[in-house]
Amino acid sequence: MTNDHSTDAVDPGTAEKDPADWTTGDEPMTGPQRSYLETLLQQAGQDAPENLDAMTKAEASKRIDELQDATGRGN
37-50, pLDDT tens digit by residue?
Answer: 999 999 999 999 99
Instruction: Assess if residue 34 is contained within a domain.
Output: yes
Q: HSE of 60 in the Cβ direction (CA atoms, 13 Å)?
A: 22
Instruction: Assess if residue 33 is contained within a domain.
Output: yes
> When comparing pLDDT for 24 and 34, which is higher?
34
C-alpha dihedral over 60, 38, 52, 14, to 10 degrees? Answer: 10
Instruction: Assess if residue 73 is contained within a domain.
Output: yes
Q: What is the extent of the structural domain holding 71?
A: 25-45+54-75
What's the structural domain count of the chain?
A: 1
> When comparing pLDDT for 33 and 73, which is higher?
33
Task: Specify whether the CB–CB gap between 55 and 63 falls below 8 A.
Answer: yes
Instruction: Assess if residue 63 is contained within a domain.
Output: yes
Going from the C-alpha of 63 to that of each of 11, 13, 54, the distances in angstroms are: 26, 24, 13
